[in-house]
């Protein structure tokens, strides 16, 4: 093989891939392998939740009236909106629409910020009500105090881990906005937009399960 044959590939295609679809397939597969580990990461917490909900059924239901369903519901809507803008951002990247891509990424980032701000307000509410597990924990129904504390611990662990993923996602979105404004993407290569889109949608899916489990259980009582 002559040296000139080796360099004959477009700049966005790494030389160890045969073609662009193969390169994209490798990235997508790697991203889903990572997301599978994330499914198990959150899965362990959902499993712990299931065990304690089964063991302390009545105590868990009694906590639901202290959950802010309005903020939780609004935040669910905010995250679904951000998933739509993210999906549209990937579409804009596919079509090479730079302006639309940047604005849709900014919209996604803003909605993520709204989610985190509402979450912070909710955490503050829990602080004021002494619902943060630890020495200062107080519960309105003393017979459930110990068991309710476990629920609030799970609430903070699960929503906190989710919020940490949102913060990482916000950092990734900022990176994408900078890269897009520096013309790093084209309709032939936009893999980071696609992959971070997958991550963002995954974080949305976690919330889709957290919302009914933490906010809506025993809501009627």
Partner 1 sequence: MSHPVVPIKVYVGIFLALITLTVTTVLVSKLELGEFNFVVAIIIAVIKATLVILFFMHVKQASTLTKLFVVAGFFWMAILFTFTLSDYFSRTWLPQVRWW
**The one segment of 29-37, 105-113, 129-137, 147-155 that binds partner 1 by CB under 8 A:** 29-37
Under rule CB under 8 A, residue 205 binds partner 1: yes
Q: Give, for 132, the enclosing helix (H) or strand (E).
A: none
Residue 93 in contact with residue 123, Cβ under 8 Å? no
**For the chain, how many helices (H) and strands (E)?**
7, 0
Please give the size of the binding site for partner 1, defined by CB under 8 A: 55
How many Cβ atoms sit within 10 Å of the Cβ of residue 219? 12
* Nearest approach, Cβ of residue 127 and partner 1 (Å): 25
Under rule CB under 8 A, residue 83 binds partner 1: yes
* Nearest approach, Cβ of residue 101 and partner 1 (Å): 13
Residue 127 in contact with residue 146, Cβ under 8 Å? no
Nearer to partner 1, 126 or 201 (CB): 201
Nearer to partner 1, 25 or 121 (CB): 25
Task: Find, among 148, 150, 153, 80, the residue nearest to 114 by Cα.
Answer: 80
Instruction: Show contacts with partner 1 in window 117-136 (CB under 8 A).
Output: none
Under rule CB under 8 A, residue 25 binds partner 1: yes
């Amino acid at each position: 093989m002559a040296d000139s044959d080796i360099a004959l590939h477009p700049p966005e295609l790494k030389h160890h891939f045969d073609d662009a679809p193969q390169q994209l397939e490798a990235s997508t597969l790697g991203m889903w392998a990572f997301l599978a580990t994330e499914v198990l990461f959150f899965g362990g917490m959902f499993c712990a939740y299931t065990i304690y909900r089964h063991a302390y059924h009545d105590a868990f239901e009694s906590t639901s009236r202290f959950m802010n369903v309005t903020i939780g519901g609004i935040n669910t809507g905010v995250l679904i909106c951000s998933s739509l803008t993210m999906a549209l951002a990937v579409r804009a990247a596919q079509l090479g629409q730079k302006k639309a891509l940047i604005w849709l990424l900014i919209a996604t980032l803003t909605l993520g910020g709204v989610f985190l701000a509402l979450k912070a307000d909710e955490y503050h509410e829990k602080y004021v009500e002494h619902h943060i597990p630890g020495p200062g924990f107080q519960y309105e129904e003393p017979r459930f105090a110990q068991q309710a504390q476990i629920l609030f611990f799970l609430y903070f662990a699960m929503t906190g881990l989710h919020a940490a993923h949102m913060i990482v996602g916000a950092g990734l979105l900022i990176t994408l906005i900078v890269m897009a404004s520096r013309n790093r993407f084209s309709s032939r290569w936009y893999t980071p937009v696609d992959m971070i889109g997958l991550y963002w949608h995954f974080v949305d899916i976690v919330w889709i399960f957290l919302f009914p489990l933490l906010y809506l259980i025993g809501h009627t009582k």
